[in-house]
Amino acid sequence: MSPMPYASLSRRVGVLLLGLLLPVASMAQDGTRARARELGVAPGIFAPGRFNAITDVAGVEVGQVTLVEGDNIRTGVTAILPHGGNVYRSRVPAAAHVGNGFGKFIGTTQVNELGELETPILLTCTLCVWKAADAMAAWLLEQPDMQSVRSLNVVVGETNDGGLNDIRARPVTADAVRRALSTAKSGPVQEGSVGAGTGTVAFGWKGGIGTSSRVLPQKLGGWTVGVLVQSNFGGVLQVSGAPVGRELDRYAFQQDVAARTGAGKLADDRGDGSIIIVIATDAPLGDRNLRRLASRGMMGLGRTGSSASNGSGDYVLAFSTAESVRRAFDAPRLETTELANDQMGAVFQAGVEAVEEAIYNSLFMATTVSGNGQTVEAIPLDRVREVLRRHGIAPAVK
């Protein structure tokens, strides 16, 4: 997949492609942000991979385009490619789990019916999913060895960034989608207010893109599980069990249970919003066990304080990159070697841990964003550190 030319988008005044300019996962956009582990938050028992990102799963690539235009456009696109080849010709087994179906995740019914993914995955804003799907279909049909293709099951998820972003303008363009796809790469993944997370909100603070990974010990298979999230949901934030939302005085249903007003007060908050969770692994899993893995993503989400509110679209999609389970699109029969059910426990554990940490990273790496007449503040990490220290989680400052 060759890179697309840059000329057309460069002529668009005011568009910042932050997802391309600042790719390093551990680098904060403003120098003041930090990933969860820098705060002493390391959920679970398994170690992360080299980048602590979904791209620790060999072959997985991520591309992001951030759109910031004038006073009202704060959105973008995040693309996840399961491998560097033609995904339509070399399909990966996949499955989707719906925690709460108040949202749009194009293509997931066919993913679950056939148990496979035949295109990259795109994340964007709610009213742009159809534009993004159309743009990805056009881009894929132009690729070599796709000239005879007459059907594509493009997969596009969303969360609603209509607070900070003029979502009715449907600002995501085909050019932005093509750039996210054609510039996707392995290695570090930028987090926070970038790509599809540019205008999102989580727990009343600025949300965004977050990622994490886990590598199992060799005696447990040595498999890698990587996660990327687009966080835009609510609830009562807890970090490794510490009641951060309560102690920072910002949480769902606050006006009903606290009956007071203040700077931290959220207006009529019911914990609504959405989250898309993408889980990748090199463990050789078929779609049945991938569906089981995807369902465990909700456990990682719950650990952060979400209750999957009525108005929250909570979706998890899992796929395996293992060569032994790949599916050629025209194969007359499938001969695969899959992990046995009894070997799934550690993979489930790794998935839950990585989801939890990816959500923390999306929150801690996000920066304050103003747009569409509103400002959503980044969660104050100095105060988060204080809460964590009081609860014995973060080390004391020397």
DSSP-derived secondary structure for 374-397 = EEEPPP-HHHHHHHHHHTT-SPPP
Per-residue model confidence as pLDDT tens digits over 38-66: 999 999 999 999 999 999 999 999 999 99
Structure-token pair, residue 114: 């056939």
Domain spans of the chain, in order of start: 29-383
Task: Give Cα separations from 280 to 152, 158, 213, 227 (angstroms).
Answer: 21, 18, 9, 6
Residue 11 corresponds to which amino acid? Answer: R
Residue 301 and residue 360: Cα distance in Å, rounded? 10
CB atoms within 10 A of CB 296: 21
Cβ atoms of 102 and 123 within 8 Å: the answer is no
Q: What's the confidence (pLDDT) of residue 15?
A: 35
In the residue annotation, 370 being an active-site residue is answered as: no
Rounded Cα gap, residues 392 and 222, in angstroms: 31
**Rg, the chain, Cα only:** 20
Which two tokens mark 12? Answer: 């668009």
- Asked whether the beta carbons of 281 and 57 are under 8 A apart, the reply is yes
Q: Give the largest Cα separation in the chain, rounded.
A: 65
Per DSSP, the three-state class of 39 is helix
Low-confidence residues of the chain: pLDDT under 70: 1-31, 259-268, 395-398
Q: Tell me if 217 sits within 8 A of 201, measured CB to CB.
A: no
CATH class of 29-383: alpha beta
Active-site hit among 186, 231, 274, 362? 274
Q: Which two tokens stand for residue 52?
A: 């602590």
The pLDDT score that the predictor gives to residue 259 is 63
**CA separation (Å) from 323 to 81, 109, 116, 327?**
15, 24, 14, 9
- Residue 398: what pLDDT? 42
**3-state percent helix, strand, coil for the chain, nearest multiple of 5:** 30, 25, 45
274 tagged catalytic: yes
The residue from 212, 231, 309, 312 that is catalytic is 312
The active-site residue, picked from 272, 314, 320, 362, is: 314
Global pTM value: 0.91
Kindly give, in sequence order, each residue whose CB lies less than 8 Å from that of residue 164, ignoring residues fewer than 6 positions away: 74, 198, 199, 200, 201, 369, 370, 371, 372, 374, 376
Contact indicator for 386, 243 with CB cutoff of 8 Å: no
The whole-number pLDDT of residue 31 equals 56
Joined tokens for residue 277: 């969770």
Residues 6+ apart with CB under 8 A from 197: 76, 78, 191, 207, 208, 209, 210, 230, 231, 232, 362, 366
Predicted local distance difference test score (pLDDT) of residue 1: 35
